[in-house]
């Protein structure tokens, strides 16, 4: 039923305040719902989950059925490095130099589960660099229409 793996790295609770964790929880709920409706849904995996963390409990409040076996995602405390071949991993981070030009169906993309309202930079890039994982950024600037550009 599910296709290409897509990883959400939830190893960033220490970088977020309650409001940011709430925002992340809302975004994950929407993303999971939309993924289920897709003709070719990703095989979503939430990695590096600290089940004992109070901030994780906030996520659980938004999706109480997340612990059920038929929930359409994988939730684990394990690292993506322990689950997937490292050579296929690509960390999508806004601080990367290389822009993703094409979607690679063989790659396993990782998205940092980090809502950052305080402009901390290089958090996900730093982690990917320490783990020696290839990084790319999405071409958001190419398609983003700001209010300034509309005026």
Task: Look up residue 91 and give its two tokens.
Answer: 């960390």
For residue range 3-14, list pLDDT tens digits in order.
Answer: 899 999 999 888
Please give the domain boundaries of the chain with CATH numbers for all domains.
5-150 (3.40.1280.30)
Q: Indicate the DSSP class of residue 51.
A: T
For residue range 60-78, list pLDDT tens digits in order.
Answer: 777 777 767 777 788 899 9
What is the pTM (predicted TM-score) of this model? 0.87
Does 118 have pLDDT greater than 80? no
Average pLDDT of the residues in 102-113: 96
Write the DSSP assignment of 75-132 as a string of letters. E-SS-GGGTS-GGGEEEE-TT-SSBP-S--TT-EEEEE----SS---SHHHHHHHHTT
């Amino acid at each position: 039923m599910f296709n290409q793996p897509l990883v959400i790295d939830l190893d960033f609770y220490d970088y977020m305040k309650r409001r940011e964790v709430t925002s992340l929880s809302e975004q994950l709920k929407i993303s999971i719902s939309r993924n289920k409706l897709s003709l070719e849904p990703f095989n979503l995996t939430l990695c590096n989950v600290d089940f004992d963390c109070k901030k994780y409990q906030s996520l659980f409040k938004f999706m109480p059925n997340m612990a059920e076996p038929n929930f359409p995602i994988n939730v684990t405390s394990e690292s993506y490095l322990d689950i997937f071949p490292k050579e296929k991993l690509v960390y999508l981070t806004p601080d990367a130099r290389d822009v993703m030009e094409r979607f690679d169906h063989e790659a396993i993309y990782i998205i940092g589960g980090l809502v950052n309202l305080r402009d901390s930079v290089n958090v996900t890039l730093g982690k990917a660099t320490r783990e020696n994982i290839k990084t790319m950024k999405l071409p958001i600037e190419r398609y983003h229409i700001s209010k300034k550009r509309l005026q």
